[in-house]
A and B are shown apart, each in its own frame.
Chain A
Amino acid sequence: MGATSKLLLIFLLLAGGVGSVFVVVALSTRQPIEDQTEMHRRGYAVRSKWFLFVTLFLLAAFVATLPFFPYLSRVTAQGPALRVPVIAQQFTFIMPSHLPLKQRIIFEVTSRDVNHNFGIYNSKGELIAQTQAMPDYVNNLEVTFQKSGRYTVRCLEYCGVGHALMEKEFTVGGY
């Protein structure tokens, strides 16, 4: 299963869960009325458990996501890699049209005019990596292409009326 369908699944499951809770609570109004003090007593007991659960869950999620952060430390940024400068400008990208397979690449992305974004799509149309292209700044994006083929770069930051046309294709490996 791809990352995208996983995301959708997580979202739909959680949203469905929330929806069901709301439906159950709405339907409970058909039951005989419950006194508010009684309801408070039981409700607060549930709430403290829920509070604990949400807090722990979110903290765990925070810790679990840490290893997947894309930020390079000073050491890794200087490690051996092919450095590929990318310059974005209204409405194109200036960059090589061929890149090597299975080699660590660090894209050094900047912009000549306004803010753009450098988003890499694989041949299946999945967005696999991205970083902002900001004038006066350079963003280092680390990518190792595992599959040869045709890739498309799209701009993912609104940069003017030609924004949707801002595309660039490149190939990877013996393609």
Chain B
Amino acid sequence: MKLYLAFGLIIAAVMMLVGLTMRMAQAQWLSIPPDVFYELLTLHGAGMIIALVVCAMGGLWFLMRRRISLSAPLAVAAWALLMLGVAGVVISVVFGHYAGLYTFLYPLPFIGSWPGWATGVFLIGMMLINIGWMIWCFQILGAVLRAYGGLRGALGWNFVWCPKAFAAAGHEPPPPEAFPAVVAGLDGLITGMVAMLLGVALLVRWIDPRVLIDPLWAKNLTYLYMHALANLIIYMLAAFIYVGLSYVTKREYHTSKVFVIAWWSSLVFILTNYFHHLYMDVSSQPQILQYFGELSSYLTAIPVTAVTVFGALMLVWRSRTRWTLGAVFMYSGLIGWVVGGIGAEIDASVPFNLHLHNTLWVPAHFHTYLLGGCLLFVMGWVFLLLESRSEHSTSKLMRSLIFTLSFGGMVVFLLGFYFGGATGVPRRYDTQPLPGPLIAQFATIGVIIMLLGFTLAFFEGLRLRSGFSADRMLWPQNLRDDIS
């Protein structure tokens, strides 16, 4: 789905420049008024999440299309709704000066310095995006269920519980990438409906201010939705590890029992982890949920590290991998996933959360897994496509140059957030207390170096594109033979 990918990457590129602007402002090298800063932050946050969701949607759709039938017009319709929503968000921020951020907590958007219409347009925009997302979930879930024998089949129930009868009947479990699709479909629909409920409540409140909403109820719903959505991005992109890494390592990735059980547990944890966003509602949130939240957040790490990442490492171990740019990006993305996960687990420990909640530690961990994980998976995917079809290949010098600049810069940028968080610098501050600005100066330099690396990668991508030859098969179409 070129449509999805192109838009996702363009939005991401623009939003990286917005990010650079914000970090420079925090470094006090650039002076922008607070209202503009928070408008940029709203755009950056909403834009990046949408950009990566769109890439992940397009990517998973593309991978599943090889195996099951999916209607392209419906996917285009979902995309159109997403774009309409993005337009709404942009109008609301640029013309209406909406600066309530994308994960706002009721009643903020109604008590801001921006006009009421901007809040309304923003809400409607976000709801359109959500509808587009739910249509996609519905489509992919429906198709997977139809193809693999309902919920039971798609979830590999009999494959796990009665393997002998399953094999004797000549059945095969769904391929690995079908599991991210089922989980995204189910969890996406459940949380998407929750978001619609909240959205409608907020719209009614927008039309008639006498309607009151409970702030704690709203906060729970907001985070259930946003946490699941942000999490699903990386779980969806995991499909690329299964397909992409087995392609570069020339090995096979099979659906195993452990693998299936790991996805079952992720299906649940994606929904129950969000409680860690409410640790600091110390007396209002029911206490049992705080304990449950920590336990659930900890256990999430098991399926990821013991199954997906471990499996990926096993694929690579003493394989015949050629470290092209595509392979390098994909493999490094795994590091970002795990390291970001460690940052998240530390923050998800209540005693640490006391010192880290809403400090720069939060953007630290999610930039690690969104920028250093998800975005790299998407870039890896694009490069595998380009490399598979191009007659050119990237020279060793170019590869190490891109590698050093991108990752060297990225590490400096991310460490800036971690150090800021550990020293208590609050997130979402346009002017930070010390040592915030000092750290931001180092981080800004890191960002510039990283963006240089990304720019080089972009031009290298163009060069590869120019060398396309028609008789080369586009990856992963050439995997078809060993599928059927």
Residues of A within 8 A of B (CB): 3-5, 7-8, 10-11, 14-15, 18-19, 21-22, 25-26, 28-29, 31-34, 36, 39-40, 43, 47, 50-51, 54-55, 58-59, 61-62, 65-66, 68-72, 77, 90, 113-115, 117, 119, 121, 125-132, 134-141, 154-165
Given A36, A117, A127, which contacts B424 in the complex, CB threshold below 8 Å? A127
B317 and A68 contact, CB distance less than 8 A = no
Partner of A21, one of B313, B356, B429: B313
Evaluate whether A61 and B349 lie within 8 angstroms (CB atoms) in the complex, with A131-B281, A140-B282, A161-B35 already known. Answer: yes
Inter-subunit contact A7/B335 (CB<8 Å): no
A130 to B351, CA, bound (A): 11
Shortest distance between the CB of A32 and any CB in chain B (Å): 7
Please tell me which one of the listed residues B101, B258, B318, B423 contacts residue A4 in the complex, with CB atoms under 8 A apart.
B423
Bound-complex Cα distance A55 to B104 (A): 35
Residues of B within 8 Å of A29, CB to CB, are 316-321, 323
Contact B350 A65 (CB under 8 A): yes
Do residues A117 and B280 form an inter-chain contact, with CB atoms below 8 A? yes
Contact of B301 among A22, A54, A128 (CB under 8 A): A54
Tell me if B316 and A25 are in contact (CB < 8 A).
Answer: yes
Query: Which residues of B24-49 are within 8 A (CB) of A?
Result: 34-35, 38
Q: Which of A65, A157, A160 is within 8 Å of B358, CB to CB?
A: A157
**Nearest-neighbor residue (CB-CB) of B432 within chain A:** A164
Q: Is the CB of A69 within 8 A of B319?
A: no
Given contacts A51-B302, A139-B283, A165-B431, 18 further A-B contacts (CB under 8 A): A4-B355, A11-B418, A28-B316, A29-B320, A33-B319, A54-B306, A61-B298, A72-B282, A90-B111, A127-B359, A130-B354, A134-B215, A135-B215, A137-B216, A154-B433, A157-B358, A160-B108, A162-B34
Which residue in chain B gives the minimum CB-CB distance to A7? B422
Say which residue of B113, B281, B356 sits within 8 Å of A139 (CB atoms): B281
A158: chain B residues within 8 A (beta carbon): 38, 101, 104, 108, 428
> A131–B281 Cα gap in the complex (Å)?
6
Output the residue of A15, A28, A72, A165 with the most chain B CB within 10 A.
A15
Q: Is the CB of A69 within 8 A of B281?
A: no
| Other-chain contact of B107, A72, A129, A135 (Cβ < 8 Å) | A135
Cross-chain contact B318 with A164 (CB below 8 angstroms): no
Given the contacts A139-B282, A139-B284, A119 and B112 also touching, CB distance less than 8 Å: no
Residue of A nearest to B103 (CB): A158
Complex interface: chain B residues within 8 A of A22 (CB): 313, 331, 334-335
Residues on the B chain within 8 Å of A3, using CB: 355
Rounded to whole angstroms, the CA-CA distance of A120 and B299 in the bound complex is 31
- Taking CB atoms, residues of chain A closer than 8 Å to B346 are 7, 10-11
Partner of B287, one of A33, A71, A117, A162: A71
B306 near A47 with CB under 8 A, answer yes
Q: Give the complex CA separation of A163 and B435 in angstroms.
A: 18
Contact, CB under 8 Å: B112 / A14? no
B357 beta carbon closer than 8 Å to chain A: yes
- Please name 5 pairs of A and B residues whose Cβ atoms are closer than 8 Å in the assembled complex, sorted by A: A19-B335, A21-B313, A58-B298, A69-B351, A136-B216
A8, B419: Cβ atoms under 8 Å?
Answer: yes
The CA-CA distance from A29 to B352 in the complex, in Å, is 39
The residue in chain B whose Cβ has the minimal distance to the Cβ of A3 is B355
**A40 & B320 in contact (Cβ 8 Å cutoff):** no
Q: Is A140 within 8 A of B283, CB to CB?
A: yes
A71 and B294 contact, CB distance less than 8 A:
no
- Interface contact A68-B301, CB-CB below 8 Å: no
Q: Name the residue on B nearest A107 (C-beta).
A: B282
* B426 contacts the other chain (CB 8 A): yes
For residue B290, CB closer than 8 A to chain A, the reply is yes
Task: Tally inter-chain residue pairs, CB-CB below 8 A.
Answer: 220
Chain B 244-267, CB-CB to A under 8 Å as 1, else 0, gives: 000000011000001000000000
- Please determine whether B216 and A134 come into contact, CB atoms closer than 8 angstroms: yes
| In contact, B281 and A132 (Cβ under 8 angstroms) | yes
Q: Across the A-B interface, give the 7 residue pairs with the lowest CB-CB distance, nearest first.
A: A127-B424, A68-B351, A34-B318, A137-B284, A164-B429, A156-B358, A43-B314
CA distance A157 to B100 in the complex (A): 12
B73 nearest CB across to chain A (Å): 40
- CB–CB A18/B342 < 8 A: yes
Are B310 and A47 interface neighbours, CB within 8 A? yes
Question: Which B residues lie within 8 Å of A127 (CB)?
Answer: 355, 359, 424
Instruction: Give the docked Cα–Cα distance between A129 and B424 (Å).
Output: 11
Given A61-B349, A68-B350, check contact A33 B283 (CB 8 Å). no
B-side contacts of A114, CB under 8 Å? 105, 107-108, 111
Q: With contacts A7-B346, A156-B357, A156-B359 known, is A121 near B215, CB below 8 A?
A: no
> Is B280 in contact with A131, judged by CB distance below 8 angstroms?
yes
Residues on the A chain within 8 Å of B358, using CB: 117, 119, 130, 156-157
Residues of A within 8 A of B108 (CB): 114-115, 158-160
A40 engages B355 (CB within 8 Å): no
Mark contacts of B78-90 with chain A using CB atoms, 8 A cut-off: 1 yes-contact digit, 0 otherwise: 0000000000000
With a CB–CB cut-off of 8 A, which chain B residues contact A113? 107, 111
Q: B67: CB under 8 A from chain A?
A: no
Tell me the B430-452 residues at the A interface (CB within 8 Å).
430-435
Contact of A58 among B301, B351, B418 (CB under 8 A): B301
CB distance from A12 to the nearest CB of B (A): 8
Q: In angstroms, how far is the closest chain B Cβ from the Cβ of A129?
A: 7
Q: Which residues of B contact A15 (CB under 8 A)?
A: 339, 342
